[in-house]
Amino acid sequence: MLYADLLREINSGKFTAGTRLPSEADFSTQFGVSRPIVREALGRLREEGVIHSRKGSGSYVAEAERVNGLPPASTNRTVASISDVQKLYQFRIFLEGEAAFLAAQNRTEDHVRAIAKAADDLAMTMNGSSDGTYEDIVFHRAIAVAAGNRFFVDALDQIAPDMQFIVRLARTLLLARPVKNIEAVQDEHSLVLDAIRAGDAPMARDRMQFHIRTAQARLFFGESIEGHDLWQQVPPR
């Protein structure tokens, strides 16, 4: 819970890039929690690159463009062809399937709340306030964090600029299609969240892999017969 509160304050602009954060003792008093809990929350933010430490000086907010740990979409993009996009989906199917598996095994209440909030934020974009790209990627990253292995987070951060480009393209196409198609995406996210919350690791993996495969089919086939056969299947339940 404290992790989510601190991340929210950083993302809101209360603590800008380069700002020195209050001490552990100050946070402990402010939020009414013990110092070990503060230390754990700060450690998690540090692992995700949201903050960094300076020896003997304390913790500071990292560069401003990293929000929820995501690098800016305009940097380090590597996809250069349709083949690259296909291969990136292939990579994500295995990477995020295993991340979801581990998330179901290792998730804490804070992790589940963070994933649920990301899913809710994504659902809210259906009112047209956002194209949902940022919220979509935050959802997937929250699951990687819950896996309890920073290398999953590092891998997602590495491909985040490419993911943002592809997800924005896919969601832009979805927004031009019937609402039921967007609702299908939301349902897939909800099913992944439910499996993680229930601690069902094999189901979490199956549902995440199904979600990414159908996302790929929606992008490449849309409403065609091939696309309908590929992504209108019933998700694993």
Condensed to tens digits (0 to 9), the pLDDT of residues 207-227 reads 999 999 988 888 887 665 444
- pLDDT for 131: 67
User: Is the pTM higher than 0.75?
Assistant: no
State residue 57's pLDDT score: 81
pLDDT in tens, 142-177: 999 999 999 999 899 888 888 888 887 776 666 555
Read off the pLDDT of residues 60-79 as tens digits, 9 standing for 90 and up.
887 644 545 555 444 456 77
Helix (H), strand (E), coil (C) string for the chain: CHHHHHHHHHHCCCCCCCCECCCHHHHHHHHCCCHHHHHHHHHHHHHCCCEEEECCCEEEECCCCCECCECCCCCCCCCCCHHHHHHHHHHHHHHHHHHHHHHHHHCCHHHHHHHHHHHHHHHHHHHCCCCCHHHHHHHHHHHHHHCCCHHHHHHHHHHHHHHHHHHHHHHHHHHCCCHHHHHHHHHHHHHHHHHHHHCCHHHHHHHHHHHHHHHHHHHHHCCCHHHHHHHCCCCCC
